[in-house]
Amino acid sequence: MTHTFDVVIVGAGGAGLRAAVEIPAGFSCAVLTKVHPLRSHTGAAQGGVCAALGNLEEDTPEWHAFDTVKGSDYLGDQDAIEVMCNDAPRAIIELEHMGMPFSRTHEGKIAQRPFGGHTRPVDKTDPNSKRIPVKRACYSADRTGHVMLHTLYENCIKNRVNFFSEFFVTELLYEDGVCSGVAAIDILSGEVHIFHAKAVMFATGGDGRIWRITSNAHVGTGDGFILAYHKGLPLEDMEFMQFHPTGLWRLGILVSEAARGEGGILRNSVGERFMEKYAPTVKDLAPRDMVSRAMLTEMREGRGIKGSDGTSYVLLDLTHLDPKIINEKLPEITGFARTYLGVEPTTEGVPVQPTAHYAMGGVPTDIDGRALRSNKGDIVRGFYAAGECACVSVHGANRLGTNSLLDLIVFGRRGGKAISEFLKHAELPKLANGAGEFTRDTVSKLKASRGNQKCATIRTELQDSMMEDVGIFRTDKGMAAAVAKVAELKERFKDITIDDKGEKFNTDVLEAIELSNLLDTAEVVATCALNRKESRGAHAHEDYPDRDDANWMKHTFATKGDDGKVLIDYKDVTVTKYQPMKRVY
């Protein structure tokens, strides 16, 4: 079956829905998603979305931009960061006018709280003066992403956006520099559908399911990355994966930074507030990469708490907070602790450990969401990306908390506006040759397979390998072992078998395709990580413990070679006003 639309958006999280809202009447817009839109992973975001509104204390977009550049360990493109931070206040007010129910101050203003890495100078006349935490995160209790998702979905319904829920996109239709649509499997029927379009936007989220402990939803399998990569398009900075410091022990379910923003403290096995050693000024509100490394260092040095399964954790202490704060401002987080670990946060510490959380890399784009064909800056006609699957490079080597939701709404909107302008003059392109053939062939081969390998076994081994060797701390030896392990698993994948040979709602087939995407994405991530001989942001290379601006202040661009191997090139970081300095807090 073939459908024709002016624009097709793949992914119904914050970026995809924000883009869809911008498509004007008179143009047809379809949103495809593996799940129901309100099950998109944006709904799991808890703590807030940042903007220098200055509702509780003085703040400026320039201070926000400085924090974002510094947080990125100077790998973020500063022109894009300035666009995002300057646009943030307008983006938040726009969401408010759409109906998003923010928490409020007593005066009725949007409430704000501190978040890791967000600061203001003590002496505002001297940008190099000591900096202290600032209340910049706008929030809706600890369900900010949830209410954002509902608000945007409601506005899409009002705008008569066409939703195709439970459609799994398996091909980007791209040929000779032009994107002409996508192919997708209707999960309910098993039928392959072709979506022919003038413009396509990927807003497909991240790849956290590569790692064993992750806060990502089960749909976070790197689909958007790999569909572009298989067509010869580049992926940028894939070695940088953020580990959020506070995932529930063993489970990885996120415990938002909002808990520390409200006053929560991390403590080791001897009750010590250990972040005072690693970030004496901002302490527990240091950037996520630094807190994750500090936690793991405490565990390595024997000050972690041993769990029943032999793994270690530290405690997030909220017991000194007023129970009213816990129950009113952190209801979801504390509910998770009670439900999944049987812990009462008002009277005992919550066991936490770092969890794979956010991909800083992705499909490279300009500030209007247009996908790049190479590191030279030339664009793909009709192809856009936004959100976690994209890399505008506002996050660089480490994303600051709350900048992810801001990224979604700023660049989702800009992408939507750019598509709207493009559609005014665009003709429907010729459909790429063989549209849907790859998908039909893949499904047919999977159903006919009679091997002795199981998807679950391969997936578990992949996740264990990546967690061990391409996790928070990395070495050449470990990353080389991970590259070799992924190669082995890709060979074994050729010999898999699936049990369900049916058509309707065949989750065995879907999981096999997702596993293939995970393997290919892991290959890119591990190869790029092994290639970067320095430590920067989330990439903590123990053989090269220092940041090397002379040789490595550049973006990695990975493409698929003719032999299937990962090819690596580079692109310079854009520096405007903030020169690299030592990153201390």
Structural domains of the chain, ranges and CATH numbers in brackets: 246-356 (3.90.700.10), 437-553 (1.20.58.100)
Neighbours of 379 (CB within 10 A): 17
Non-local (6+) Cβ contacts of 78 within 8 A are 65, 69, 574, 575, 576, 577, 578
**Predicted local confidence at residue 126, as pLDDT:** 75
Q: How far apart are CA 416 and CA 20, in angstroms?
A: 6
CA torsion angle for 325, 246, 536, 294 (degrees, to 10)?
Answer: 100
Measured on CA atoms in the order 560, 565, 569, 575, is the torsion positive or negative?
positive
pLDDT digits 0-9 by tens, 521-574: 999 999 999 999 999 999 999 999 999 999 999 999 999 999 999 999 999 999
Mean of per-residue pLDDT scores for the chain? 96
- 454 burial level (CB within 10 Å; 0-12, 13-18, 19+): middle
Q: What is the mean pLDDT of residues 291-314?
A: 95
**Phi, then psi, of 395 in degrees rounded to 5:** -105, -20
pLDDT digits 0-9 by tens, 40-75: 999 999 999 999 999 999 999 999 999 999 999 999
**Predicted local confidence at residue 130, as pLDDT:** 87
| pLDDT reading at 333 higher than 90 | no
Q: How far apart are CA 137 and CA 111, in angstroms?
A: 8
pLDDT digits 0-9 by tens, 352-379: 999 999 999 999 999 999 999 999 999 9
| pLDDT reading at 380 higher than 80 | yes
| pLDDT reading at 13 higher than 70 | yes
**Predicted local confidence at residue 362, as pLDDT:** 98
Catalytic residue numbers read 288
**Predicted local confidence at residue 127, as pLDDT:** 64
Question: Which residue, chain included where needed, has tokens 């699957």?
Answer: 389
Sheet of 235-236, strands arranged across? 235-236, 554-560, 566-572
| 327 or 150: which leads in pLDDT | 150
**Predicted local confidence at residue 565, as pLDDT:** 95
Q: What is the mean pLDDT of residues 183-191?
A: 97
| pLDDT reading at 327 higher than 90 | no
For residue 315, what pLDDT band results from cuts at 50, 70 and 90? very high
Percent of the chain, pLDDT > 90?
A: 96
Measured on CA atoms in the order 391, 396, 401, 406, is the torsion positive or negative?
negative
Please give the model's pTM, rounded to 2 decimal places: 0.96
Q: What is the mean pLDDT of residues 565-584?
A: 96
Given a contact cutoff of 8 angstroms between Cβ atoms, the answer to whether 245 and 543 are in contact is no
| pLDDT reading at 334 higher than 70 | yes
Please name the amino acid found at residue 509.
V
| pLDDT reading at 294 higher than 70 | yes
For residue 309, what pLDDT band results from cuts at 50, 70 and 90? confident
